[in-house]
Structure 1
């Protein structure tokens, strides 16, 4: 079962998430000399800034950051997850303390399959692989949309059944922009740890579905069920009000 950590203020949610991230960071650096992380966009990024930027224990130069999904737009576009990460996190880190960040190649943006193939190659070359050749991230940081989507894996979409590609193309995202790439369930299953950040009363209806459905169909709920490593949910009290779950 996932571990749900609930706090009544956004700063406290960020600090709770940061404490777990630092623990995983230190374990990973001790084992391999690096911390391999995949991140999504959205409000998750501001939570990382609040909890990690002024934290003396954060070792950003040891981080290798990838994106769990990315929109196929220029890196400085308002829809770019990299652009959001830069504005809300990277620009707040001293230049000599920057993590290594792996982005999509702008030169390939007109060819969706070429982008996804290149990004999968970047991941395979730079992230440790398990015995089945699947990349193993030390931590995948995720958000949860009001429809229960995570990464760019949407309810009922064919990509939920993708088992061979580690990074796949989506041309028909129900949420704009339509053209994206996303990591797939084989990568999510293999991760050493997964952490969701979900805040606000607007998330309560979907979290009720995620945690109370006996047979999960929403992508975020499927992550809870199939992940082989621990899954953490860092949430605000309002996001889980009326939701039947055990909280820490």
Structure 2
């Protein structure tokens, strides 16, 4: 079964998430010299800032120079655009690290910005796929109010993305949530990851998490990933997101 960790508020969730990420980092570095991690955008980035940057407990435990950071999905926009997931990560993690004395930052992999706006979206996806490692040690996922994760959306319009088995990165067109054009990891990337971790906060997520945890609803991409890869899946949620949802309430205690 997937592990579900519940916290009273954003601060305690960020602390638990950071503890989990450091544990996955350490497991990866016991086996090799790099930690391959993929992140999502949105509120997850604030949790990374609070846990990995602001929380002093983890300052000396994060080996940033061994981190190789990728993006689960990306909006096909300029990197400084407010919608860019890379841009959000830079603001929440990379820029604050510059003010930390002696800190070495991670290696980050962004889309080819020179192709933005040229109607070369399949090429943007293919080039990003060429940057991916053989496997990921950890993929941090979000969950939208519609049950999407990465830019894998529910419904007929986007079922081609869930059916894709050859491409590891695909162009998501006509996204129901702007910007319309994105690239996204496909299911084979998630399937091969060592660990998958969803982060979801707020009352707006409660209806969809009820469908994921109680209804085991695989019509929702987040539910499909949770059910199909459950031995690799963890969820970090706040109390508001799982109010009245029948789950065991526990926090992450380490491996």
TM-score normalised according to structure 2 size = 0.90
Q: How many residue pairs were aligned?
A: 238
Instruction: Give 1:213 shift.
Output: 1.7
SS in 2 for 1:93: helix
Match of residue 173 from structure 2? 171
For the residues of structure 2 that align with 1:237 and 1:228, how far apart are their CA atoms?
21
Instruction: Give 1:229 shift.
Output: 4.8
Match of residue 253 from structure 2? none
Alignment of 1:85-164 (within 5 A): 85-94=89-98, 96-109=103-116, 110=118, 111-123=120-132, 127=133, 129=134, 136-156=135-155, 157=158, 158-164=160-166
Alignment of 1:41-80 (within 5 A): 41-53=41-53, 54=56, 55=58, 56-80=60-84
For the residues of structure 2 that align with 1:214 and 1:143, how far apart are their CA atoms?
17
For the residues of structure 2 that align with 1:142 and 1:215, how far apart are their CA atoms?
17
Instruction: Give 1:214 shift.
Output: 4.0
TM-score normalised according to structure 1 size = 0.93
Alignment of 1:18-37 (within 5 A): 18-37=18-37
SS in 1 for 2:4: strand
| Structure 2: runs of 5+ lacking an equivalent | 251-255
After the TM superposition, which parts of structure 1 deviate over 3 Å for at least 4 consecutive aligned residues?
none
CA-based RMSD of the aligned residues comes to 1.2
Instruction: Give 1:215 shift.
Output: 4.5
Instruction: Give 1:94 shift.
Output: 3.0
Distance 1:228 1:240, change over 3 A: closer
SS in 1 for 2:77: coil
Please tell me whether residue 219 in structure 1 is matched to residue 226 in structure 2: no
| Structure 1: runs of 5+ lacking an equivalent | 130-135
